[in-house]
Amino acid sequence: MIKNLPNTTTSKISKELVQIREEGGAVALGRVLTLIIQTNFSGLEDAILAANEASRAHPCRIIVLADEDKKTKSEPRLDAEIRVGGDAGASEVIVLRAYGEASSDPESLVTGLLLPDAPVVAWWPGEAPEKPSTSALGRIAQRRITDAAAQKDPHAWLSTLAKNYAPGDSDFAWTRLTLWRAQLAAVLDQPPYDTVTKVIVTGAVDSPSTDLLAAWLELKLKVDVELVRTSRGQVVAGIKGVTLVRSSGNVEIVRNIPDVATLIQPSQPTRDISLPRRSPRDCLIEDLRRLDSDDAFGKLITKGFGTKRKSPVVSAKGKK
């Protein structure tokens, strides 16, 4: 069910939520957190789809604040939708479309709609504020989720996040690495336990996750990491492969086709492993599992990513 509230106010939206609760019984109960999404009109439905799917694992109230294009100058107005039931996954979705000056104070638009005594998570699926923790929505959130891959310059964004990091910040570029990190840890836990003397990480030129994986390996293994870029538009986006150089022979994980990688180890048969590129839904589900600070990411972004590394090496087929 979708209830439209054109040219409305936060107070009217709250009253409508109470009425829906009275008519639908427990439909508005059982939520464990409030998820605030700030996006633009064009990214609205994609963000809602990912959040609805994530809400099946983490029942929540979803508040979507969508602003019109900054170049457009409209009369101040707030249109709203309340989605429940089949249109809202396992959540209730409040969509706020703010026009003109109505979008100038995001905090006041959402404050009256937050679940009482429940944690607040803010997510920017598109362009994010330069310093999330001090932004209008970031100030009221325990967790703040951004996506470096969605920024105009993903690599510069990571540097900005490193400079402005505050406990509670996280980024999908890090969450996309979970499967890679688990697979690399499993490889290193197997004999012969030789010391890794060098690492080569290969990934697309526009992949911030490649940057973070290289920094993580450098921080954990305390070795030089060579970063090799491939061009955009290839079959495999994001990270393409990792090579661990050891005296007993190199270990390689190479992803030449989407979702499947090849594991090559000395004296062992080559085998395929599942290594899919994670969707926004997958990343959001993982990030909503913990509402405290991600200390591993905090250490990486402030210490590991800030360390001085050699300039990236570009593959023969790629352009920097």
Each of the 320 residues of the chain gets a pLDDT tens digit; together they read 889 999 999 999 999 988 887 776 545 456 889 999 999 999 999 999 999 999 988 999 999 999 876 666 778 999 999 998 877 776 789 999 999 888 889 999 999 999 999 999 999 999 999 999 999 999 999 999 999 999 999 999 999 999 999 999 999 999 999 999 999 999 999 888 899 999 999 999 999 999 999 999 999 999 999 999 988 756 677 999 999 999 999 999 999 888 999 999 998 999 999 999 899 999 999 999 989 999 999 999 998 775 444 444 445 444 43
pLDDT at 72: 67
- For the four alpha carbons of 232, 234, 237 and 238, in that order, the dihedral sign comes to negative
The amino acid at residue 147 is D
In degrees, to the nearest 5, what angle opens at C-alpha 78 toward C-alphas 73 and 83?
Answer: 130
Tell me how far apart the alpha carbons of residues 18 and 9 are, in angstroms, rounded to a whole number. Answer: 15
pLDDT at 69: 66
- Rounding to the nearest 10 degrees, give the CA dihedral for residues 173, 175, 176, 179: 150
pLDDT at 28: 47
In the chain, DSSP finds a helix count (H) and a strand count (E) of 9, 15
List the strands of the sheet with 77-83, edge to edge: 2-5, 77-83, 92-99, 60-67, 33-40, 120-123, 143-146, 169-171
> Beta strand 196-204 with 239-246: parallel, antiparallel or unpaired?
antiparallel
List the strands of the sheet with 196-204, edge to edge: 271-274, 260-264, 251-257, 239-246, 196-204, 225-230, 313-314
pLDDT at 319: 42
- With CA atoms as reference, report the closest residue to 276 among 149, 178, 205: 178
Tell me how far apart the alpha carbons of residues 291 and 118 are, in angstroms, rounded to a whole number. Answer: 11
Is the whole model's pTM more than 0.75, yes or no? yes
